[in-house]
Structure 1
Amino acid sequence: MTGDRPAAVVTGLGVAAPNGLGLADWWAAVRAGRNAIGPVTLFDARDYPSRLAGEIKGFDAAEHLPGRLLPQTDRMTRIALVAADWALADAGIDAEELAEYAMGVVTAASSGGFAFGQRELAALWSKGSRYVSAYQSFAWFYAVNSGQISIRNGLRGPSGVLVADQAGGLGAIAQATRHLRGGTPVMMAGAVDSALCSWGWVAHLAGGRLSTSDDPEGAYLPFDERAAGHVAGEGGALLVVEDAERARRRGAPRIYGEIAGYAATMDPAPGSGRPPGLQRALESALRDAGTEPGEVDVVFADAAGLPECDLIEAEAVGKVFGPHGVPVTAPKTTTGRLYSGAAPLDVAMALMAMRDGVIPPTAHVTPFPGYDLDLVTDRPRPARLRTAVVLARGRGGFNSALVLRQHAPHTGGGTGPAGHRDPERTP
């Protein structure tokens, strides 16, 4: 995103994760390496081969949302609506004061409202079609979060959804920056995912990548010789993204950082003999950002937790940055993989890491020496961070890479207190 393109900056973060609700609580847990993986409680998983998950505890949608929304929304969408509210508040934006088409929303999804859909399908086969909620028509749909966020906040600008498993969250953020370049002043972007119900669980298991360990600290061990799958989780992050000049003019309360570059690739078909596409995505994202490998201060890894996938990622990082050439971390070992919500949460983590000058740790993992990675483990590592890379991969061959950098404030404003008149707001 180099050249004459306007800088796209992040001015608001809304986070809901297994290890914390809200930005402050979550970030404190991340820095401490606090584990949030435990036995599944949202349904009875005792008879399944995998019984651990990263669940969000203590979330009561009725405390945050109007009662009329509860009957028509899945747990996933309720969490997303609250995260969107938090992101707007963090950015100091009142959506009702924006001009009619001044803000849009792009989210990612790996599934729709699975728990809602399961309940209504059970009603269909056990009681009949008269007992199926009319809200089933959209509550299960993979685009429901974009739709409900847009409706609740009156966001009538460009909207969309990307479906690329774990890689989709970065694609949603990149798509939002494209809309900024097209003239939309502000965008909401990111993802929140949740499919922790028996129907969703069967889908997770069908992928063949879930760990069957019952040890919350040993079930998800990417880049470890003991790696044997991942733990599923729920949650994610939503970001407010806007043009840097606009953020300066309106006196945005803060600018977390700049979305500097992005690229996506597809892996070749199995048996083709061609190499995986992750390294190419990483190199292309760096070129898009006008960034040399030596300028990158930290990589937030996809961290699949399967030896063959971990090796592909380690080799891509090693070929671009050199053996032990850049600190690498994967704090998702304390939450599980959040599917489409994972990469936006990593983006929020990278922005907070740059703000505080600290790389959060990859908990529980003993790095396998053969990967030649400088993996940050055990405790946070102080570091001066100007540029970060987030990697994400999805089932089916999706690869994505996003480059973030600290944003140099414009002389005379841009990160001061809110309150200046916004030229895109209605009179």
Structure 2
Amino acid sequence: MTADVVVTGIGVVAPNGLGTEEFWTATLKGVSGIDRISRYDPSGYPSPLAGEVLTFDAADHLSSRLLPQTDRMTQMALAASDWALADAEVDPAAVPEFGMGVVTASASGGFEFAQNELQKLWSNGPEYVSAYQSFAWFYAVNTGQISIRHGMRGPSGVLVTEGAGGLDALGHGRRHVRKGTGLVVSGGVDASLSPWGLVSQITSGRLSRSADPERAYAPFDVSADGHVPGEGGAILVLESAAGALERGARIYGTIAGYGASCDPAPGSDREPGLRRAVELALADAAVAPPEIDVVFADAAGVRDLDRTEAQTLAAVFGPHTVPVTAPKTMTGRLYSGAACLDVAAALLAMRDGIVPPTLRVPDQAADCPIALVRDTAREMTVRTALVVARGHGGFNAAVVLRAGPDSN
């Protein structure tokens, strides 16, 4: 029998809350962190809105030595890893260094750091470019910096599958725990809202062009015209259930199932791969569709992608059957950080017996036959949840979560 892998610690950096409980309180109240970009004047860009983490000051959480070496996404990831380990009541110094690993996801790497150094190169010359540029931009830098900070020298890695990356990282981290690594820090954090990062995202054609925070990013709505980008994410602590119980840890829940797939090439007559990812995760968890209490949706905010997801969920669970929610309507799509934040929200929903709402869907499209939890949170028992994620480029992932012993 394969060992269960559980979540014992959560660290969150989100546009609507810094820290797990602040994020969760805001999310249940329907507080949105989406607004006009404040770090520079976005009036020259067709997509001026984003989910910024306005309350995060890296100097409050990291040493002055680390600040010039790291991109904003890495600074957030380091803070979130500190909080997750503290939440799990784990002192890394007391754990064998080869018994701890790190697996994170990244969709873009350190874009803001890279832009700043390229500006120095263009404006002043190569001698003004920081030596830290050699690694601060890299996709794997969050994994590396977390492992260095906490002395974690066990199996590690990074997954680059855009919005699906957070779930892929958790699936990979779960595999390491099952193979005997005592503890794995896993999740995703992204922060690509600099002008260069924003322009890169605009080229996908999937960003909303609305300048109204109350109307932009309306997934599954007839008016959906794209998503709003955001920054932040979540870092989780994964352990074997046996190890967590032995040390008396609080258990949020079990990562019971994981599945991944890829979409066929554009123009193919084959169906998208999302349903296969969902069914693989359900089979891996040995869970039948009626056992799922709630689905945390990918919620692309693009009409055809919303239709595909909604019809996939309707095909698996039945039309308008299982409650579906998309709390990322309060944060924007955080790319590699989005799905991990949904996993954190699902675990907290299990703990507290309440499902967060989806905002800004006043006129749900008829071709999206799902039972959306809209506008206000819904009190209900959540024992089993499905989290779905997709990444630009055809990546699909799904994770099934089971409630922990301390859940409501």
TM more than 0.5: yes
Shift of 1:364: 1.6
Q: Which SS does the other structure have where 1:370 is aligned?
A: coil
Alpha-carbon distance in structure 2 between the residues aligned to 1:271 and 1:174:
30
Q: 1:261–1:288: 8 Å Cα contact kept in structure 2?
A: yes
Give the superposition deviation at 1:187. Answer: 0.3
Correspondence for 1:150 among 144, 147, 158: 147
Query: Secondary structure, in 3 states, of the residue corresponding to 1:248?
Result: helix
Q: Which amino acid aligns with 1:221?
A: A
Which residue in 2 is equivalent to 1:92?
A: 89
* 1:359 corresponds to 2:355: yes
Equivalent residue in structure 1 for 2:210, among 210, 213, 235: 213
Tell me whether 1:193 sits opposite 2:151 in the alignment: no
- TM-score using structure 2 length: 0.98
Distance in 2, matches of 1:197 and 1:286, equals: 38
2:384 corresponds, among 379, 387, 396, to 387
Aligned equivalent of 1:257, options 242, 253, 257 = 253
Distance across 2 between alignment mates of 1:201 and 1:284: 34
| Residue 422 of structure 1: aligned partner | none
Q: Deviations over 1:334-372 (max 9, x none)?
A: 110000000000000000001111110001212223311
Partner amino acid, structure 1, of 2:268:
S
Q: Corresponding residue for 1:53? A: 50
Letter in 2 for 1:285: A
Residue in 2 aligned with 1:284?
280
In structure 1, distance between residues paired with 2:179 and 2:282: 22
What pairs with 1:84-123 in structure 2 (closer than 5 Å)?
84-123=81-120
Shift of 1:92: 0.1
**Aligned residue in 2 for 1:346:** 342
- Partner SS for 2:186: strand
2:269 to 253, 268, 273: 273
Structure 1 contact 15–22 (Cα < 8 Å) conserved: yes
Confirm whether residue 234 of structure 1 aligns to residue 231 of structure 2.
yes
Amino acid at match of 1:260: A
Give the match for residue 302 of structure 1. Answer: 298
1:137-179 deviation per Cα after TM superposition (whole angstroms, max 9, x unaligned): 0001111100000101111111100000000100000100100
Match of 1:67 in 2: 64
Is contact 1:37-1:52 (8 Å) kept?
Answer: yes
Q: Do the aligned partners of 1:35 and 1:217 also contact (CA within 8 Å) in 2?
A: no
TM-score (norm 1): 0.94
Confirm or deny: 8 A CA contact 2:311 2:367 kept in the other structure.
no
Task: Tell me the CA shift for residue 44 of structure 1.
Answer: 2.3
**1:174 paired residue among 171, 174, 180:** 171
Amino acid at match of 1:100: E
Amino acid at match of 1:116: F
Which of residues 2, 5, 8 is equivalent to 1:5?
A: 2
Partner of residue 378, structure 1: 375
Task: Find the aligned partners of 2:216 and 2:10 in 1 and give their Cα distance.
Answer: 29
Deviation at 1:297, TM superposition (A): 0.2
Segment of structure 1 superposing worse, 287-296 or 34-43: 34-43
Structure 1 position 408, deviation (Å): 4.5
Corresponding position of 2:395: 398
Task: Give the C-alpha shift of residue 45 in structure 1.
Answer: 1.3
Corresponding position of 1:131: 128
Residue 165 of structure 1: which of 154, 162, 168 is its match? 162
Q: Which moved more, 1:27-36 or 1:360-369?
A: 360-369
CA deviations on 1:41-65 (whole Å, 9 max, x unpaired) are: 1222110111000000121111111
Match of 1:325 in 2: 321
Are the aligned partners of 2:251 and 2:405 in contact in 1 as well (CA < 8 Å)?
A: no
CA displacement, residues 82-110 of structure 1 (integer Å, 9 cap, x when unaligned): 00000000000011111121111000000
**Matched length:** 406
Identity of aligned residues (%): 60
d(CA) in 1 for partners of 2:214 and 2:146?
A: 35
Q: Work out the CA distance in 2 between the residues paired with 1:384 and 1:99.
A: 38
Helix, strand or coil at the partner of 1:190:
strand
Q: Is the 8 A contact 1:343 1:392 kept in 2?
A: yes
CA contact (8 A) 2:3 2:178 kept: yes
Tell me, in whole angstroms, the C-alpha distance in 2 between the residues paired with 1:196 and 1:119: 13
